[in-house]
Amino acid sequence: MAALPPYAGPGARAWHYGFRLICALIFLFLIFPVLVVIPLSFNAEDFFTFTPGMLAFEAEAYSWKHYAAFLSDERWTRAVQNSFMIAPAATLVSTVLGTVAAVGLSRPTMPYRGLIMAILISPMIVPLIITAAGMYFFYSRIGLQGTYAGVILAQAVLGTPFVIITVTATLVGFDQSLVRASASLGAGPVTTFFKVQMPLILPGVISGALFAFITAFDEVIVILFVGAQQQKTLPWQMFTGLREQISPVILAAATILVVLSIALLTTVELLRRRSERLRGLSPG
């Protein structure tokens, strides 16, 4: 946020600092319920609340035991393995489909672009419970319910709209004359895409892929309908733990998810800034 100019009056100064205060309060309101999980995951007791010792910052009130239990429990480790197997595969499918769709929708000659775009991003708008129920009945008929392939395709459906939106936004600043120049020099559509378009839109593609990965990694409602016990992921295991046996190990798993999400979103922001610099939309 830019500093106040020396000629700013009392009203401008009040709005400047008041706006910063409002932003700080909104940020605190949004992020505090998430961050409070992190210190609770180090609770030495099997409680979901802060103990007097934790509030007094006593060393013996904090412990790594819930993380040790997380790493030593076969149910949790199997759920982590499933998550890191399903989410990358779903991300790959989402990225390929979303990028191809975004490139096609960016063409001025594409008919019914608005209608096609609305259909493709509809998984973001339709309530997940409806999407999950529809997938369950459809996948049951074709034999994909309760299989890894079915879970991966279901997660890919949810992640593809994020890739489409991100890549489409990147293509807004793309100079289409580069495509025409490449074609005039004898390059085919595939060569033009990989040699001309892809290097310039790559930050947007990677950003969309990261959003798709977060969606696939954190999703629990759809996988409850489409998956089976063999495909139980980390969010599914956390949901099961809350229903059957409330254990602070869930807090350790939640902390790991929070750290992973923060790392991925930080990467997305860095890629967004790099994309803007490449397109000349920001200085630097």
Q: What is the pLDDT of residues 71-99, one digit of tens each?
A: 888 888 999 999 999 999 999 999 999 99
C-alpha closest to that of 278 among 203, 176, 195, 178 = 203
DSSP 8-class letter at 5: P
pTM above the 0.85 mark?
no
Domain containing 188: what range?
A: 75-279
Note whether residue 201 is domain-resident: yes
Note whether residue 260 is domain-resident: yes
pLDDT for residue 93 = 95
Place of tokens 């060569």: 191
Note whether residue 239 is domain-resident: yes
Tokens of 277: 């610099």
Residues 102, 164: contact at Cβ < 8 Å?
yes
Q: Is the pLDDT of residue 140 over 60?
A: yes
When mean pLDDT is compared across 104-118, 157-171, 212-226, the lowest value belongs to 104-118
Note whether residue 273 is domain-resident: yes
d(CA 83, CA 98): 21
Across the chain, mean pLDDT equals: 84
- The number of domains in the chain is 1
Note whether residue 27 is domain-resident: no
pLDDT for residue 161 = 93
Q: What is the pLDDT of residues 183-221, one digit of tens each?
A: 777 777 778 878 878 887 888 888 889 889 988 988 889
Q: What is the mean pLDDT of residues 245-267?
A: 83
Residues 248, 66: contact at Cβ < 8 Å?
yes
Which of residues 258 and 8 earns the better pLDDT score? 258
d(CA 209, CA 167): 10
Q: What is the pLDDT of residues 173-186, one digit of tens each?
A: 676 777 778 877 77
Note whether residue 14 is domain-resident: no
Note whether residue 156 is domain-resident: yes
Q: Is the pLDDT of residue 224 over 80?
A: yes
CATH code (residue 102): 1.10.3720.10
When mean pLDDT is compared across 11-15, 125-129, 158-162, 205-209, the lowest value belongs to 11-15
pLDDT-derived band at 3, boundaries 50, 70, 90: low
Q: What is the mean pLDDT of residues 261-284?
A: 70
